[in-house]
Every structure is written in C-alpha cells, then in structure tokens.
Amino acid sequence: MEMNRSMLMYVLPILMSIAALEAAAILLWRKQSYPWRESLASVAIAIGQRLSGLATAGLIAGLFTGLWQWRFFTVDMTSWWGPVLLFIGIEFFYYWQHRTMHECRWFWANHAVHHSPQHINLSGAYRIGWTGAITGAALFYVPLLFLGFSPQAISIALVLNLLYQFWLHTELVPRLGWLENILNTPSNHRVHHAINPQYLDANYGGVTVIFDRLFGTYVAEKADDACRYGLVHQMNSNNPFTIVFREWIEIWRDVRTSRTWGDALRYIFKSPGWSHDNSRLTSEKIKALARAEEEQTPTMPSSPQQNLNSASHGNLQTSAATFAKPETI
Ligand SMILES: [Zn+2]
Ligand SMILES: [Zn+2]
C-alpha cells in the first residue's frame, strides 16, 4: 500500500502533463473543443483522492498484513510462474470487483465518480472517488492473500494495473484490430464509459478483456454507434464535492424515506436504479427497453416521468429516452 501511495503521488504530475499534451492535440490537431472545467474538476478530484488515500492506506495495509499471517500457501514471486499467477489473479478479482461496483449501489456510490465526466480524455483517468476505503472494495483481493500472494506483491500489481488503464481514456486512439479481442484498449474502455443502452455494463476488465469474454460482458465498439459518456442522471456540476458525494446523499435520502428496513437495505445494496415502487430504471431495464424499441414493439413504462436518479448508467438522450424523459440536475 506504501508503494501504491508513493508511486501515484510521484506519477500523478507526469500523467497530468501527458493529459495536457492530449488537450493540445484535441485543440490543435483535431480542432475540437476541450472540456477545461470538467478536466480541472478531474484533477482536483484526483488530488483529493490521493489525500484520502493517505488517510486510509495504513488501515488497509494493516488489515492485509494481519490477514497474510493466515495464508494457506506462499507463492514464490522469484519463480516465472509466480508473477504470471498473480497477474491472472488480479485480473480475475479486479473484474469481479469492478462488475460489483456497477451492480451494487453501495460500491457504485464511489465508482460513479469515475463515470461522471461527459467526455472521455486522459484527465479523467484518475477521477476516482474518495470513499473507496469506506466501501471495503479492497476486500475483493483478500482471497489472493490466503492463496499466498503478499500484500506488497498485490499492491504493486494493482498499481501497475491502474497505471496501464491511464491510456485507455482517450478518443485519439482508434480500434486496434485483433488486440481488441484480448486487451483492454481505448476502444473497449470507451464502450465501458458509454451510456448508450447497448454499451451498458460491459468491458469490466483491467489490462485484458479475457474475463469479460468468459463471463459474457464483452461488447465491441461499433463504428455506426458513437459512444456518449457520463451517467444516466448526468452530473452537471464541476464542483468536486458535489461530484464525490452526490450518490451517497441520494442513498441517504432514499434510506430516510424508506418505509421498511428491508427497503432501506435494498436501496443501499441492490442495483443502482432499484426502487421499491419500480418507478426508476436499472441498467437491465434500460437495455430491455432499448431492445424492445429495436424490435419495434415498444413497451411504455408505467409513468412518463420516471425517476432515474440512480440508474447506474444508460443514455437518456438515446433510445431509452424515447420511453422516459429524465430530470437533470
Ligand atoms: Zn466502471
Ligand atoms: Zn475508466
């Protein structure tokens, strides 16, 4: 965890410089506009995330070091197969951690921050929530400890995985042929960030998309279906605090107004967009509505003013929007 901390503190300025070069390329080469305010908000959130990481890294490191005593095996990381097994293990648990972040609102509350920009560019790569430690998302990697990978080895592997993902956040890199089938690429990650209904809940991998292919969540970018980015209920704010805490506040509102303890728990832990009266849209519903529209057998929702506050992500400006108009902030 120490490594995690210092590496990101050290590399963050370098990565921001590369993001600035990308901004120049977008402005001068592509002759497109650049979302400066959004990018500055991302930088502020990235710095805040590092500071919150400083406060919580010790806790996680302590927990992992304690659990390491209970391991069943000790993997020899000087062997050729040790790092290979760790890479596969990290990819596997990263996939399930990331998928759960999208499918369970408790984790989504923190992860939604990363998905909040309405443009994809390098500056947004480390727009990461400040409340990751509170959610306990690090516990997804505990099985690797029991299997014999040390806290240091896991930490380094995770940092390298996260660093790899930096270059995925750009529109400047086109599709990369056969590599798209194996690696997580800018194209595959654009799909992950897209809110078009057919792109929802796809491509959760870190360095590869192998587990997406295995578990049926791989979706390729289509030339005739340009990605649109952001959240179902777009975050039309560049205030870092609003961005970081919005979903937590929404959860608190839902819990406070719940009529039963069961509903309160379901508002916290079920999919984003779940509601006790079925008045909101989850990703699953958005995709089903879009499919129904495609098949030209539209299914109208019960209310035209659906409350879409917390649906994980889906594009309200696309086909799903023809069924329900969103409220925007
Ligand atoms: Zn995600
Ligand atoms: Zn991303």
What was the pLDDT predicted at 12?
Answer: 85
What residues of the chain score a pLDDT lower than 70?
1-9, 297-329
- In the block, tokens 């209310």 appear at 303
What was the pLDDT predicted at 54?
Answer: 85
Secondary structure letter of residue 28 according to DSSP: I
Q: Say what the pTM is.
A: 0.88
What was the pLDDT predicted at 210?
Answer: 98
If you measure from the C-alpha of residue 61 to the centroid of ligand 2, how many angstroms do you get, rounded to a whole number? Answer: 25
Secondary structure letter of residue 78 according to DSSP: T
If you measure from the C-alpha of residue 99 to the centroid of ligand 1, how many angstroms do you get, rounded to a whole number? Answer: 7
What was the pLDDT predicted at 1?
Answer: 42
If you measure from the C-alpha of residue 98 to the centroid of ligand 1, how many angstroms do you get, rounded to a whole number? Answer: 6
**Alpha-carbon dihedral angle through residues 181, 182, 186, 188, given to the nearest 10 degrees:** 50
Concatenated DSSP letters of 263-287: HHHHHHHS-TT--TTS-S--HHHHH
Structure token pair of residue 301: 């929702």
If you measure from the C-alpha of residue 116 to the centroid of ligand 2, how many angstroms do you get, rounded to a whole number? Answer: 10
Structure token pair of residue 60: 């996680």
Helix boundaries (H) for the chain: 2-24, 36-68, 81-103, 105-115, 132-135, 142-146, 151-164, 186-193, 210-215, 240-256, 261-269, 283-294
What was the pLDDT predicted at 156?
Answer: 94
If you measure from the C-alpha of residue 79 to the centroid of ligand 2, how many angstroms do you get, rounded to a whole number? Answer: 32
What was the pLDDT predicted at 329?
Answer: 28
Contact 247, 268 (CB under 8 A): no
Contact 190, 117 (CB under 8 A): no
**Ligand number nearest to the C-alpha of 111:** 1
In terms of Cα–Cα distance, which of 117, 116, 138, 105 is closest to 249?
105
In terms of Cα–Cα distance, which of 128, 110, 131, 325 is closest to 233?
325
If you measure from the C-alpha of residue 260 to the centroid of ligand 1, how many angstroms do you get, rounded to a whole number? Answer: 30
**Ligand number nearest to the C-alpha of 128:** 2
If you measure from the C-alpha of residue 65 to the centroid of ligand 2, how many angstroms do you get, rounded to a whole number? Answer: 29
- Give Dmax over CA atoms of the chain in angstroms: 61
**Ligand number nearest to the C-alpha of 204:** 1
What was the pLDDT predicted at 298?
Answer: 52
Rg of the chain's alpha carbons, rounded to an integer?
20
What was the pLDDT predicted at 55?
Answer: 84
Q: Which residues, other chains included, contact 224 with Cβ-Cβ below 8 Å and sequence gap of 6+?
A: none
Per-residue pLDDT tens over the stretch 134-183: 999 999 999 999 999 999 999 999 999 999 999 999 999 999 999 999 99
If you measure from the C-alpha of residue 117 to the centroid of ligand 1, how many angstroms do you get, rounded to a whole number? Answer: 12
**Ligand number nearest to the C-alpha of 312:** 1
The CA distance from 197 to 174, in Å, is 22
Kindly report each contact of residues 185-190 with a partner whose C-beta sits within 8 Å and lies 24 or more positions away, as own/partner.
Answer: 187/220, 187/221, 188/218, 188/220, 188/221, 189/120, 189/165, 190/120, 190/221, 190/227
If you measure from the C-alpha of residue 181 to the centroid of ligand 2, how many angstroms do you get, rounded to a whole number? Answer: 18
If you measure from the C-alpha of residue 111 to the centroid of ligand 1, how many angstroms do you get, rounded to a whole number? Answer: 7
If you measure from the C-alpha of residue 192 to the centroid of ligand 1, how many angstroms do you get, rounded to a whole number? Answer: 7
